[in-house]
Structure 1
């Protein structure tokens, strides 16, 4: 075993990432030679004065970078290094390292190096990119995604696309310069909830829900403004807000959603301009917000002149009969939906029901951020909805979700988790001594990808949940889903692995 003790550099990033970078640097400089055995996680944690979980996550990161290998009972060993400089995700360009092969200064970047290689590793800048590997291995079991499962979408899409190419050859070849009435009607139909139907004049077609939400934030706020999120939320929006110069601020939540009193306090002290909520099916907890809580939040929003973004992407899978925020407060609510979870993610169909005063502004912001909507995809989304095909596919998706939910109950019933027969994910509590991050790393070692709780935090938080989110709809088959669930069950039952997975 190598007699080696790293010196973790000072910095602002997560400690385990800085330790992983230190290990990578030692390997690159030859201080850790190929074949060297790294210290056991418990020993190194003791020597460094950090938690075993920190060392475990660092070892998992360098393993995902292809620098070490780890096997239960044998330990973690350094692999041989590769020629050429590996890509690194940095926030600023390394000006001194820029080279110009034409003037004889510096050396050219090897032609075989691609950004995809870097995207297949854990991001260095988690505040920017989140905790997910951007381009995972094709062989991985993808429990870190919740796109609609395959239930025959391809045939319907093929037939409708053939009709569109026959009916509108000029529109496909050109830019989209108009918003046909049928696109707005499709949005009105898809976004309707219970007795509420959005006014047709409020509908803005978009390229999926995330682009819609970012368009809303940029159209209603200015750089420096604050955007209010629950402490657990769809953090891609929180990170996207920060990327555009807005500042995320956290609202404390309970089992129903944001606490009205805490929202009022934050509004009085921090003055956020907009609130983001997922009331019908909260991601990652699956919870449903009751009507009384919705009314209380609307009262706070009106008192403090707060816009509301109502994200109903998962809500399209759950029929509750509850009044949406857009019905309770139509003058300040942007109601967002898409086809991604209930029909098909690949078509990128989305719509916003906006306060009419801001509908054109949202359309313009969306065009500036995305380049505009695609005629082919927007027409296809509209035909899927108006033909009734989207509803048929949604029923098939819900049946498949229910079947996979049955597998969860069968294989993981002894372990605490929040789940529902209409939810494409569940919120799994990991037993002691597991930590959320070390469980994620251990699952990744078995090529099974889950999301730890940090992926859903809108910022630093003192609250610890010891949970991971497991999506069940992305695996191609129920058999693959069951295989992944069995891997998770084995890890949950092997409690000792939570402290030392590879020694």
Structure 2
């Protein structure tokens, strides 16, 4: 199509007297209709403001406001000295709600890989009004959560919790919210909490906002070292220790039963609470017994549905030491009063009907497939032991450093999360986290992993030496 400053036919028949709203709004809408009807295409240049004003019999200021509105909506780009050009349509957001960029495979987001939750939701929603507890959706409920909901979660998580007592559970708005409530329950600004040398970036940020002093404990390939933990307890007198025993985020390490017991026994000896983040636990096929099941008097067990069901659920649960439940519920009451009634109702219904396990089974199946792809491309030392791990911890060879690798990977079309986000100490980290479930498909994952593997082998020389 030729430039439309030469051919003005696309504007024939447009009458700005028709419709409501100010003239600039009607002119903006008219241009959008021309774009949607294919009469204006990507790259077409609009006539100068003055010509458009004469064409429609309006002031130049009206045209200027219309063009500005078109820019704000992403339909037009104005270039100084060149004019205003029709832009390509903005990409529709994916079903996950994560904005995607054309040509980029974003492996930095940790979220479930399938739409199993959406498919199940489509089946369940029409049946909800017939449920005996349907009316609870419109009412307040206890800060710790509706009894029916806590009973459902207590039964579902019984193997992990080591109990079925709903009175020990508190519902929260996902793990991040749960961590915040736990920290507020047991610590004050200036207190110390221990954690691994490399740990979840969300917990690092949380403690920073609450002026909690994080202290790193030595770790090895099997996780936190018990004797180092003992020394840290003696030196720092911490309020708690933050652990991710199952599929540690980001290192993927799973603590052995022996090491879990050792850490739990030391924590009890020194009067230290344990915050056990088990957000990835439900994805594991045969996880070891939780620390909460063997040390329930000192452990806050925390999990949510965000990694095993759907990121948008924003629903989690805490099993707290019996002595701390009332305080934790009081903190939640002040924080947000209670969690969302509708999401609680849906989750409890899915648990009672066995649907939640079906969703998680679908996620596990997809992750098994994606871990096989990972094992085909990366060397064995870089592959997680857990065959349903949602992420991998890619150790970078010399002379790669995190910032350079992340930048080079993005230039090659792949986004990963820098390992430096997971540390608060001066210890250098030369690794990145790869989220296997973030790729739109197995084929996309395979292509992205191949790019990353090429970069680790030869990319530094290509990117920075020019060979």
1:48-69 Cα shifts (integer Å, max 9, x gaps):
xxxxxxxxxxxxxxxxxxxxxx
Q: What's the counterpart of residue 455 of structure 2?
A: 491
Deviation at 1:416, TM superposition (A): 3.8
TM-score by length of 1: 0.68
- For 1:154 and 1:410, the matched residues in 2 are separated by 30
CA offsets 1:244-280 (integer angstroms, 9 cap, x no match): 1211111111122211222222222211101110112
Q: Whose relative contact order is higher, 1 or 2, with alpha carbons under 8 Å and at least 6 apart?
A: 1
* 1:119-158, Cα deviation, whole Å (9 max, x unpaired): xxxxxxxxxxxxxxxx865444221122111142212112
Superposed CA deviations along residues 27-65 of structure 1, whole A, max 9, x for unmatched, are: xxxxxxxxxxxxxxxxxxxxxxxxxxxxxxxxxxxxxxx
Task: After TM superposition, give the deviation of residue 391 of structure 1 in Å.
Answer: 0.6
1:336 aligns with 2:302: yes
Contact 1:451–1:469 (CA<8 Å) still a contact in 2? yes
1:483 shift after superposition: 2.4
Matched, 1:392 2:354: no
Query: 1:461 and 2:434 equivalent?
Result: no
Q: Residues 374 and 195 (structure 1 numbering): CA distance in 2 closer, same or farther, change over 3 Å?
A: closer
**Pairing 1:44-123 to 2, within 5 Å after superposition:** none
Q: Is the counterpart of residue 147 in structure 1 residue 121 in structure 2? A: no
Q: 1:360 aligns with which of 303, 326, 345?
A: 326
1:426 aligns with one of 367, 374, 392: 392
Deviation at 1:342, TM superposition (A): 1.6
TM-aligned CA deviation for residue 397 of structure 1:
0.6
Per-residue CA deviations over 1:84-125 (Å, capped at 9, x if unaligned) read xxxxxxxxxxxxxxxxxxxxxxxxxx99999xxxxxxxxxxx
CA distance in 2, matches of 1:495, 1:199: 54
Task: Give the alignment partner of residue 479 of structure 1, picking from 421, 435, 443.
Answer: 443
Taking the aligned partners of 2:382 and 2:139, their CA distance within structure 1 comes to 53
Q: What displacement does 1:202 show?
A: 0.7
State the TM-score, normalized to the length of structure 2: 0.73
Matched, 1:262 2:228: yes
Aligned-partner Cα distance in 2 for 1:243–1:195? 30
Cα–Cα, structure 1 residues 502 and 208, in superposed 2: closer, same or farther, change >3 Å?
farther
Instruction: List aligned pairs for 1:174-253, cutoff 5 A.
Output: 174-177=139-142, 179-193=145-159, 196-253=162-219
**What is the distance in 2 between the residues matched to 1:207 and 1:502?**
49
CA-CA distance at 1:361 after TM superposition: 1.9
Residue matched to 2:369: 403
Q: Is the 8 A contact 1:433 1:499 kept in 2?
A: no
Q: Matches of 2:219 and 2:281 in 1, distance apart? A: 19
Structure 2 spans left out of the alignment, 5+ residues: 1-67, 74-97
Distance (Å, rounded) in 1 between the aligned partners of 2:429 and 2:188? 33
Shift of 1:174: 4.4
Aligned match for 2:409, one of 443, 457, 465: 443
Report the CA distance between 1:476 and its aligned residue.
2.1
CA gap 1:420/1:199 in 2 versus in 1, 3 angstroms: same
